[in-house]
Amino acid sequence: MTPTPADKPEILHVDLSDLTQALTAGWRDFRAQPLFGLFFAGIYVLGGWLIVFSLAAKGQLWWSLPASAGFPILGPFVACGLYEVSRRREAGEPLIWGQVLGVVFRQKDRQIPSMAAVIVVFFLFWNFLAHMIFALFLGKATLTNVTTSAEVFLTPEGMAMLAVGTVVGAIFATLLFALTVVSLPMLLDREVDFVTAMLTSLGVVTESPLVMLGWGAVIGGSLFVAMLPGFAGLFVVLPVFGHATWHLYRRAIAWEREGP
């Protein structure tokens, strides 16, 4: 697939019917090509297991840093695989493993790595703030292993830390969602720079704030529930929302030529 040269993006208003139809189309893509969805979701699940096992391994906590850093780096590339499957189905193009994976691999020479860097910066800065919040509220408490002494979170300081951390985390998640919700499929589809893609994505959210923020809340809630049974639910939730994101991008952005 050769990306279409960049035209001028026009931001369209989206409503609940657009979300419903995008989600329906995402489910249809997953049912039509489940092996692609399971493969790309499996990479996420493997990353989640790696993080959990590394955090749980006694004396090996240092391994959680590279595991955590590598997880968001892979995310945009894996998502591109789902977008490419939906794009090919939409365009009536054949779905061949080598070609789909080749498109994902070629993203390393385009703008996706820059988006991955932005996601990593958000991820690492949030980890830094999380440690600062923990130190602010519980830094003076007796050192304890929270995995075996979870009652520390039931103290007034622990409850305050959870409340502040949740609010700050929600702000970070909302901002990252606004910058990436359509920018990643746009970078796959068009030859645009990542800054333009992020600003366009932000424009989509500000054009239809309640609908788009509701979409983000649905995604966040679904991912949380999907992770509870050992990340197993991600095998379905991730592909469906990945495909749906492509279809939402197609409904939220129209392209028009610049000049004559």
Residues 6 or more apart in contact with residue 118 via CB below 8 angstroms: 179, 194, 198
Angle at 66 between CA 60 and CA 69, to 5 degrees: 135
Antiparallel, parallel or unpaired: β 253-256 and 8-11: antiparallel
Residue with tokens 């746009």, as numbered in its chain: 186
DSSP secondary structure of 81-131: HHHHHHHHHHHT----HHHHHHHHHHGGGTTHHHHHHHHHHHHHHHHHHHH
pTM reported for the whole predicted model: 0.84
Q: Which two tokens stand for residue 6?
A: 């960049």
**Structural domain of 160:** 4-256
pLDDT at residue 59 in the model? 55
Give the whole-angstrom CA distance, residue 173 versus residue 198. Answer: 15
End-to-end CA distance of the chain: 26
DSSP secondary structure of 30-67: HHHSHHHHHHHHHHHHHHHHHHHHHHHSTT-GGGHHHH
Give the helix/strand (H/E) hosting 259.
none
Give the whole-angstrom CA distance, residue 108 versus residue 128. Answer: 27
pLDDT at residue 165 in the model? 81
Per-residue pLDDT for the chain (260 aa), expressed as one digit of tens each?
Answer: 566 555 789 999 999 999 999 999 999 999 999 999 999 999 888 877 877 777 666 555 544 554 554 455 556 777 899 999 999 999 999 999 999 999 988 988 889 888 888 888 888 787 788 778 877 877 665 555 555 555 666 777 778 888 888 888 888 888 888 999 999 999 999 999 999 999 999 999 999 999 999 999 998 888 888 877 778 888 999 999 999 999 999 999 998 764 44
Contact 138, 161 (CB under 8 A): yes
Total domains present in the chain: 1
Give the whole-angstrom CA distance, residue 97 versus residue 35. Answer: 10
Q: Residue 224: how many CB atoms within 10 A of its CB?
A: 11
Give the whole-angstrom CA distance, residue 65 versus residue 47. Answer: 12
pLDDT at residue 260 in the model? 44
pLDDT at residue 123 in the model? 80
pLDDT at residue 68 in the model? 52
